[in-house]
Amino acid sequence: MSDHKAISEILSSAALLAAYQTGQRGFSGLSLAGTDLSGIDLKGADLSYADLNETNLSQANLRGCDLSYASLQEADLTQADLRGAMLIGTDLRQATVTEANFHDADYDPAETHFPTGFDPAKAAMKSDRAQA
C-alpha cells in the first residue's frame, strides 16, 4: 500500500485532512461520528457509507463528494457546500442544513432521507430517477 492510510487508521479530523492532502480521496466506510470537521475541504472525496452522525460539517467544502448511503443524522451542515454531491440513500434526518448549498446534488426520492420540511426541489437538487 502506498502513502494511503487505511480507513481504520483515520480516527480524527487531523488524520483525515492529512490523508486528503496527500491525495487520498477514498474514505468509504469512514467512521468519524461526533467529530468537528467544520471548515474542512474534502472536495471530490468518496465518503460513501461513512458514519458522520452528529458531526460538525459547518462551512465544509463537500463539492462533488460521494455521500451515498452515508449517515449524517443530527450533523451540522450549516453553510456547507454540497454542490454536485452524490446523496443517494444518504440519511440526513435531523441534520441542520441552514444555508447549505445542495445545487445539482443527486438524490434518490425513495432512499434519501432529509430533515423534516426540507424540499430537494427548492434546493435545486437532481433526482436520480423519475418519481412515480
- Return d(Cα 95, Cα 8) in angstroms, integer: 25
Domain range enclosing 66: 1-132
Tens-binned pLDDT, residue by residue, of the chain (132 aa): 344 778 888 999 999 999 999 999 999 999 999 999 999 999 999 999 999 999 999 999 999 999 999 999 999 999 999 999 999 999 999 999 999 999 999 999 999 999 999 999 999 999 977 554
CA distances from 29 to 57, 65, 89, 96, 127 (A): 17, 14, 14, 22, 24
What pLDDT is recorded for position 53?
A: 98
Task: Please list, in sequence order, all residues whose beta carbon lies within 8 angstroms of the beta carbon of residue 15, skipping any fewer than 6 positions away.
Answer: 5, 9
pTM of the model: 0.93
In what side-by-side order are the strands of the sheet with 86-87?
Answer: 86-87, 106-107, 126-127
- Return d(Cα 42, Cα 123) in angstroms, integer: 21
What pLDDT is recorded for position 131?
A: 52
Residue 79 is classified by DSSP as T
CATH number for the domain that contains residue 24: 2.160.20.80
Structural domains of the chain, count:
1
